[in-house]
Amino acid sequence: MIAIPYESERTVPPSIYEYKGQSLYLEWVDNYVVVDIETTGYALHHDEITELAAVKVENGKIVTEFQSLVKPSFPISEGITRLTGITNNMLARAPSISKILPRFLAFVWSDIVVAHNANFDINFINAACIANNVGFALDNDFIDTMMLSRHLFPTEYSHKLKYLVKRFGIASEVKHRGLSDAKNTHKCYEYMKQYAANNPKIIGSYSPHNVLKAKAKVSNNNYFNETTPVFGKTFAFTGGLERMSRKDAEQLVIDMGGICGSGVTVKTNYLVLGDNNDDPRIKDKDGKSAKLKKAERYKESGRDIEIISEDDFYKMVLEDEKAG
């Protein structure tokens, strides 16, 4: 756990990304903490946490657990209630995020974090840490079970938790509640750990692949590293990027064996949100682009699409380079 300097001690505002740990892609551990959250929605800068949950694992077995609802600053939608079963009446009696976060962070402490779609959970947690001046952030290294599933089972239709628990014979459905999802994620991680041990050739494989095309762009690469989270996935971008042009970002994806689409479709795996909110393509009064709203609808309907930040996109690129 890392301490965050208070605002009076800083010269620039903190970023949720400067405290983030490293993704331990394709690594297997026996001692860790599984983390899961529920939120009012999927947009980091618009939505808030409504539930924090975690289970501590030693030698592959759950030894203790943590769970608490969290009262947001605005009512949740009927869609979120249908998805999670959490109601505004339940949240009205819940503690505030500033009161519960220190307890949650103390429970997680310095353990490796395991989570399904880990960037989502960690980004929301650290945004809450900074916004509420709790003094600490979640800088733990982490393992993403969604990325593991995509690598181990690349031909499957979806890698959402609700599909994993069915395929692995863990449960018939998920409840979309923090503690239940954390326990199911633990079971999925242990299943995939055993699967990888029984199929060692799956890890670290390299093979030639046909050149991929997207939007009239091609790659000059004849070989792609198929073990990375970028390979074979379809990306779309919305908003202005701070560190490079969108054209260059799309070419990066293609050079790494990914695919770029001009819009969000049922085949899109990642929508990258540009950090530049002044981009003229974001026109709605709520600050959300049409692509973001479409991606949120797809995500709520169960499609295999994730909404990630520009910074998380660059982390994926760096992971690809390290793996290669």
Q: Are 143 and 190 in contact (CB under 8 A)?
A: no
Q: What is the DSSP string of 156-169?
A: SS--SHHHHHHHTT
**What pLDDT, on a 0 to 100 scale, did the predictor assign at position 286?**
58
Q: Long-range CB contacts (< 8 A, 24+ apart) of 75-79?
A: 76/40, 76/50, 77/40, 77/41, 79/300
Q: Are 269 and 304 in contact (CB under 8 A)?
A: yes
CA angle 170, 172, 177 (to 5 degrees): 85
Comma-separated ranges of CATH 3.30.420.10 domains in the chain: 2-198
Q: In a structure prediction context, what are the per-residue pLDDT tens digits for the chain, which is 324 residues long? A: 555 554 444 444 456 666 778 888 777 899 999 999 999 998 888 899 999 999 999 999 999 999 999 999 999 999 899 989 999 999 999 999 999 999 999 999 989 999 999 999 999 999 999 888 887 788 888 999 999 998 899 888 899 999 999 999 998 878 889 999 999 999 999 999 999 889 877 665 323 222 233 344 566 666 778 888 888 889 999 888 888 888 888 888 988 888 887 788 888 999 999 865 444 444 454 567 888 888 888 888 888 899 999 888 988 887 544 444
Residue 320 to residue 131: CA distance in whole angstroms? 31
Q: Are 1 and 105 in contact (CB under 8 A)?
A: yes
Whether the pTM exceeds 0.85: the reply is: no
Residue keyed to tokens 């064996």: 257
**Residue type for position 318:** L
Residue 62 to residue 57: CA distance in whole angstroms? 4
Mapping DSSP to helix (H, G, I), strand (E, B) and coil, where does residue 113 land?
Answer: strand
**What pLDDT, on a 0 to 100 scale, did the predictor assign at position 275?**
67
Task: From the candidates 116, 176, 186, 209, give the one annotated as an active-site residue.
Answer: 176
Residue 195 to residue 191: CA distance in whole angstroms? 6
CA-wise closest residue to 121 among 148, 102, 150, 143? 143
Domain 207-323 CATH (choose: 3.40.228.10, 3.30.70.1560, 3.40.1190.20, 3.40.50.10190): 3.40.50.10190
If you ran DSSP here, which 8-state letter would residue 7 be given?
Answer: G
End-to-end alpha-carbon separation of the chain, Å? Answer: 30
CATH class of the domain at 2-198: alpha beta
**What pLDDT, on a 0 to 100 scale, did the predictor assign at position 97?**
96
Strand 32-39, strand 49-58: pairing: antiparallel
Residue keyed to tokens 């605002």: 7
Comma-separated ranges of CATH 3.40.50.10190 domains in the chain: 207-323
DSSP E strand boundaries for the chain: 2-3, 32-39, 49-58, 61-69, 113-115, 136-137, 142-144, 207-208, 213-214, 217-218, 223-224, 234-238, 259-260, 270-273, 306-309
Strand 213-214, strand 217-218: pairing: antiparallel
Query: Is 176 assigned a catalytic role?
Result: yes
CA-wise closest residue to 142 among 170, 158, 121, 160? 121
Residue 99 to residue 68: CA distance in whole angstroms? 11
